[in-house]
Chains A and B, each alone.
Chain A
Amino acid sequence: MKISRIFNQLMASILVNSIYAMVNYPVVMINTLLAPLSILAVVTFASHGSLLPIGALGALIMNMVQSGISIQGDLSHLKNDMKLQDMVVSSPTSAGIYIFGMAISEIVYSIPTLTLLLILNFLFVKASLFAWFLIFIDMATIFTFSIALGFLLSTFSSDIVQSWAFAGILSPLLSTIPPVYYPITFIPLPYRYISYLSPTTYAAEIAQSLAGYVPVNIYEFIMLWIVLIGITVLIFFLALKKSRWREV
């Protein structure tokens, strides 16, 4: 009974924030597709096809980041413009279930893009089953980081214009500029360290090394995971601290 109730509450968030939007306005499904694919196309053409596999992995990371960050705009819109969150606050749904449902809805929203990118990856990225498993964990981690960051930002955002600004700033900072679509070795050494300010650099290097495109020794590999998980836990903790279901 309890589990079915929680399932229904999760489904409400997923339906409102993704499925109903996709059913009522099918054009939104193209929305998440354009940015990752357009950059992948540019990188592929500019490298005469040599960066297609790395680019495909990068597009997957960008999709995860974009999906996660989207939660800040959606939460802010539903809270500030629709006052829907106030209706949910006063209902039996808890904050955790509402946010978790919204997080899943972001993934559901990007299912068409995700499907296409996974097909591209399976076609062009040669990796073992175990490597794919780790790449999956890597993607889940960067998605968790993005969701936590998006949620944290939504608590600062008082209207949708501010949310759009956050999204506009974060997307290039996290997925276009860092070495997500290309190997980090393409960046000259003194500047290479700057790219490590972005957690997507770690996620990309993990994925690229697992697919055999960049050489990383075991110690570096473990370090990449430690930093990526560390940043994710830190942002997650900050988001939890900042979150308030009931205002003071």
Chain B
Amino acid sequence: MTDVTKLKSAFPDVVVNVEEYRGDVTVILKQEAFLPVCTFLRDDPDYSFRFLADVTAVDYKDKTPRFVVVYHLLSHEHNQRLRLKVPLDDMNPEIETVVNIWPTANWHERETYDLMGVKFLNHPDLRRILLPYHWDCHPLRKDYPLEGKGEE
């Protein structure tokens, strides 16, 4: 299991909480200064999470914060995984991109923007990726019906 003591002591103001469930460690970060944490996690030899497995977002509908962006990290060197969660407190969710840290985030973030409507600031190419370009909806949001609103 990933030991996050060093991370907590390095960024006491940014790490809001650390949770553990079934062996998965989740670190909840503040949106304002989470980019330095990501760089630290990638470059620090004790972590070296150089592999970003996945980026996604969750819509909690009635709760605040409504949207939470989730990153799944993997370290080949230490054979460890870590989950980062960044709650977004806005109704028009926006967050800084991590493309400059992990280039693989490019398509993941486009997909999250496409399906969940989370905007990634400073993303090099933030277009829809899966749905038709002219659609104006974000289907994975909880208030969107399963069978759609009649988009063609």
Indicate, yes or no, whether A interacts with B. no
Q: Which residues of B contact A (CB under 8 A)?
A: none
Q: Which residues of A contact B (CB under 8 A)?
A: none
